[in-house]
Amino acid sequence: MLLSKVYKGAHVSVIISILGFSFLVFIHELGHFIFARMTGMKVDKFSIGFGPALYKFGKDTVYQIALLPFGGFVQIKGLAPEPGQGPEPTSQTNKPKNLAELMDEWEHDGVFSPVEEYEETVQQAQAKQSSNPEDLSEEIRIEESSETEEERVQREAEEMEGSFLSKPLWARFLVVSGGPLFNVLFTLFVFAAMFIGQSAFSVKGLRFASMVINEVSGPAQKAGLQSGDVLVSINGQAIKDFSELKDQTINSQGKALTIAIARPPSTTDRAYRLGSVYEECLQVLSTSSYDASKECEDTKGISLYRGVAQQDWPQKSFTVTPENLSPDSEIARYRIGVAPEWERLGGESTWQSVVLAWDEVNHLMSLMSSKIIKGLKGEESVEVASVVKITAISADTVKRGSEWFLNFLAFLSLNLAFLNLLPFPALDGGRLIFLAIEAISRRPVPQKLEMVVHGIGIMFLLLLTLWVTTKDILSLL
């Protein structure tokens, strides 16, 4: 069970999983770091992990590995203090303000302007309450400023030099988006490397889109599907490629699927398309029963299908029930038993592998977006996994082999990019929203106001993390 996977001593697979996750964090923070350096920002600290430093070096920029590996940060001058470290007690950011006051300050820019008419400024003010009006007083002490206006301007200029806020909008946008961008690039690299020399749909004769079944087995064979059939739709929904068949199979959760096909009169009337093979979800080891009453009568009239003249190929519908081959595992493996025509591609297909990898990234990002939208509408439940569950699933992929583990890391890296781009406070997407507001209004949102909003977001994320982690731990007991 899952519990034994996580708490079985210092299991090698668990250690590798933790290192793999830490590597993804490193990739993410490296994106922020590189763009910060490229745009001339001063990076005070680059940390992999949170908490006390286990090892650190560097002078101008401190590089460190911290105790808790599930996270990390890049401390850029003027962007935010180190996690857990507040602003200086004397800084203006540390003065207590409520949200209404902060919004009012943004509307009245003069509150941020220095008082240049006086060399003496109000340094301290105290007040007291009393029922006697004569006792009501306000003591204001005026002290001479310790620095001249010229010295103050010079000091503030030095403090701003190399800071996040001193850079143009485009530079700040690059720095904030650099983390998710590097996660996406890592996913692209892994997917492209896997596509090179791997199986892909054959390219024979005319190159037009089609969904030809090359091999059948298990439930698909039992249902009556044959090699050479052309997939038309699943549950009444037209499909463009085998990735959609994979998605429908996974989303079915083992429920029956109605698969419509067009059957050519001879095996020579076929069409092919370049694409990717999903052997894991398209081949099955066991069979399930087929409901013959669900089969439709032969129909005529298919004259054109995705640009392919099919000469009135008869169309049929079959009911196929996917089966979960690993019911005791955290990773469900549903298969229906069909596979496309394929051929081995050589090293000369490097560019094509990049194209296929990009298609796969786009496809996965679309799935994630759709999942979030349906979750917000209440149409689907969105399950959030804690570090405990992610480690367990990752450890399971380690046991299955390096290719499984790399594929999971690539998928996890893409998830990390996607989640960080959500427009939520404290995430990269939340910071991009503030930059977008600045671009539209042509003035930055006050840093104090932004820090309050991000602080609320951090509190929410911490509570969510605590709840999800507790739920996952309780599910193990």
Amino acid at 299: T
Please choose, from the candidates 34, 420, 421, 403, the residue with its C-alpha nearest in 3D space to the C-alpha of residue 190: 403
CB atoms within 10 A of CB 466: 11
Q: What is the pLDDT along the chain (477 residues), one digit of tens a residue?
A: 444 444 443 477 788 888 888 899 999 999 999 999 999 999 989 998 888 888 999 888 899 988 887 778 888 887 755 454 444 443 444 444 444 444 444 444 433 434 444 344 444 455 555 565 555 554 444 455 566 766 666 666 666 777 888 888 999 999 999 999 999 999 999 888 877 755 444 433 323 335 677 667 777 777 777 777 777 777 777 776 666 776 777 676 667 777 777 776 554 444 333 333 333 333 333 333 333 333 333 333 333 333 333 334 455 555 666 655 555 544 455 555 555 554 444 444 577 778 778 888 888 888 888 888 877 777 777 777 777 888 878 888 888 778 888 888 999 999 999 999 999 998 999 999 999 999 999 988 888 888 899 999 999 988 988 998 888 888 767
Per-residue model confidence (pLDDT) at position 146? 62
Contacts of 73 (CB under 8 A, 6+ apart): 29, 45, 47, 50, 82, 83
Contacts of 442 (CB under 8 A, 6+ apart): none
Contact between 80 and 175 (Cβ < 8 Å) = no
Most distant CA pair in the chain, distance: 107
| Interatomic CA distance for residues 275 and 195, integer angstroms | 10
Assigned token pair, 186:
């890592």
Contacts of 181 (CB under 8 A, 6+ apart): 31, 417
Annotated domain spans of the chain:
117-162, 199-344
Per-residue model confidence (pLDDT) at position 182? 96
HEC sequence for the chain: CHHHHHCCCCCHHHHHHHHHHHHHHHHHHHHHHHHHHHCCCCEEEEEEEEEEEEEEECCCCEEEEEEEEEEEEEEECCCCCCCCCCCCCCCHHHCCCCHHHHHHHHHCHHHHCCCCCCCEEEEEEEECCCCCHHHCCEEEEEEECCCCHHHHHHHHHHHHCCCHHHCCHHHHHHHHHHHHHHHHHHHHHHHHHHHCCCEEECCCCCECCCCEEEEECHHHHHHCCCCCCEEEEECCEECCCHHHHHHHHHHCCCCCEEEEEECCCCCCCCCECCCECCHHHHCCCCCCCCCHHHCCCCECCCCEECCEECCCCCEEEEEECCEECCCCCCCCCEECCEEECEEECCHHHHHHHHHHHHHHHHHHHHHHHHHHHHHHHCCCCCCCCCHHHHHHHHHHHHHHCHHHHHHHHHHHHHHHHHHHCCCCCCCHHHHHHHHHHHHHHCCCCCHHHHHHHHHHHHHHHHHHHHHHHHHHHHHHC
Angle CA 191–406–243, to nearest 5: 45
Q: Does the global pTM surpass 0.75?
A: no
| Interatomic CA distance for residues 208 and 206, integer angstroms | 6
For CA atoms 386, 392, 395, 396, the dihedral sign is: negative
| Interatomic CA distance for residues 424 and 464, integer angstroms | 13
Per-residue model confidence (pLDDT) at position 207? 30
Range 199-344 classified under CATH 2.30.42.10? yes
| Interatomic CA distance for residues 460 and 411, integer angstroms | 25
Please choose, from the candidates 72, 73, 76, the residue with its C-alpha nearest in 3D space to the C-alpha of residue 43: 76
Contact between 72 and 49 (Cβ < 8 Å) = yes
Contact between 395 and 11 (Cβ < 8 Å) = yes
